[in-house]
C-alpha cells in the first residue's frame, strides 16, 4: 500500500529527471500508474516519445507546450501563448491529483518555471496540498524552491562537480 509522499529533485547538476523517472519506472513495474508531465523540456527526438508510448498505459507522458523553439527564443506574443499552455498543464496536474487519477505524478522541470515567473510558489503549494493520501508526487527543476521544503518529505539536490573542483 502506498502513502502520500512528495520528493523534490533540484539543483544545477544533471540527473534530476532521470532520478524521478527511475522512481516512476520502479513504481510502474509493480503495477502502479504513473503520469509524467514535462514543462519547457528541451525538445526530444521522436525516438524518446516512442519509448514513452511503449510504456503506456502504466506510464503516460504529457506535454502542453506547442512551440518547437526554446521558450527564450519565442516572441513576446508566443511566450504569452506558451504561458497559457503551461498553465493548462498546471491545471491538468491539479486535476490528476484531485481525482487521484494516478499513483505517481512526476512534474518534470516545474521548479524552473518559478525562475521565469510563469508559476508562483503559491501555485506549487496548491499542487502539494492537492496530493491525496495514496499518491506520490515528484517535482524536478533547477530552482531550489526552498520555500517548499517544509511541505515535502524529501529533497535531493544535485550538483555537478568537475574533476578539477573535487578534493582528491
pLDDT tens for each residue of 107-146: 999 999 999 999 999 999 999 999 999 999 999 999 999 9
Arithmetic mean of pLDDT, 36-44? 82
Q: What are phi and psi of 96, to 5 degrees?
A: -60, -40
Percent of the chain with pLDDT over 70: 93
> With 90 as the cut, is the pLDDT of residue 53 above it?
no
> With 90 as the cut, is the pLDDT of residue 80 above it?
yes
Rounded to 10°, the helix 121-129/76-98 angle is 20
* E strand residue ranges, the chain: 5-10, 34-38, 59-63, 104-108, 136-141, 154-157
Residue 2: pLDDT band (50, 70, 90) is: low
- What contacts 72, CB < 8 A, 6 or more positions away? none
> With 90 as the cut, is the pLDDT of residue 52 above it?
no
Per-residue pLDDT at 83:
97
Q: What is the CA 145 to chain-centroid distance, rounded?
A: 13
Per-residue pLDDT at 46:
53
Per-residue pLDDT at 164:
80
d(CA 107, CA 110): 6
Tell me the three cell numbers of residue 52.
514513452
> With 90 as the cut, is the pLDDT of residue 43 above it?
no
Average predicted confidence (pLDDT) for the chain: 92
Q: When comparing pLDDT for 138 and 70, which is higher?
A: 138
Arithmetic mean of pLDDT, 76-95? 97
> With 60 as the cut, is the pLDDT of residue 165 above it?
yes
> With 70 as the cut, is the pLDDT of residue 73 above it?
yes
- What CATH number has the domain spanning 5-159? 3.40.50.300
- What contacts 10, CB < 8 A, 6 or more positions away? 16, 111, 139, 140, 141, 142, 143, 144, 145, 155, 156, 157, 158
Q: Which residue has the cell 544545477?
A: 12
Q: Can the peptide bond before residue 57 be classed as cis, meaning omega within 30 degrees of 0?
A: yes
Amino acid at each position: 500500500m502506498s502513502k502520500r509522499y512528495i520528493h523534490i529533485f533540484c539543483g544545477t547538476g544533471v540527473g534530476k529527471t532521470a532520478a524521478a523517472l527511475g522512481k516512476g519506472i520502479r513504481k510502474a513495474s509493480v503495477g502502479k500508474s504513473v503520469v509524467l508531465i514535462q514543462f519547457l523540456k528541451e525538445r526530444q527526438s521522436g525516438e524518446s516519445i516512442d519509448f514513452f508510448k511503449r510504456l503506456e498505459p502504466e506510464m503516460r507522458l504529457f506535454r502542453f507546450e506547442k512551440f518547437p523553439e526554446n521558450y527564450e527564443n519565442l516572441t513576446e506574443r508566443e511566450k504569452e501563448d506558451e504561458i497559457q499552455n503551461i498553465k493548462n498543464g498546471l491545471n491538468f496536474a491539479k486535476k490528476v491529483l484531485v481525482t487521484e487519477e494516478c499513483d505517481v505524478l512526476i512534474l518534470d522541470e516545474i521548479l524552473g518555471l518559478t525562475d521565469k515567473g510563469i508559476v508562483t510558489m503559491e501555485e506549487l503549494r496548491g499542487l502539494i496540498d492537492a496530493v491525496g493520501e495514496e499518491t506520490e508526487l515528484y517535482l524536478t527543476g533547477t530552482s531550489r524552491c526552498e520555500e517548499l521544503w517544509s511541505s515535502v518529505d524529501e529533497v535531493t539536490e544535485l550538483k555537478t562537480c568537475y574533476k578539477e573542483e573535487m578534493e582528491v
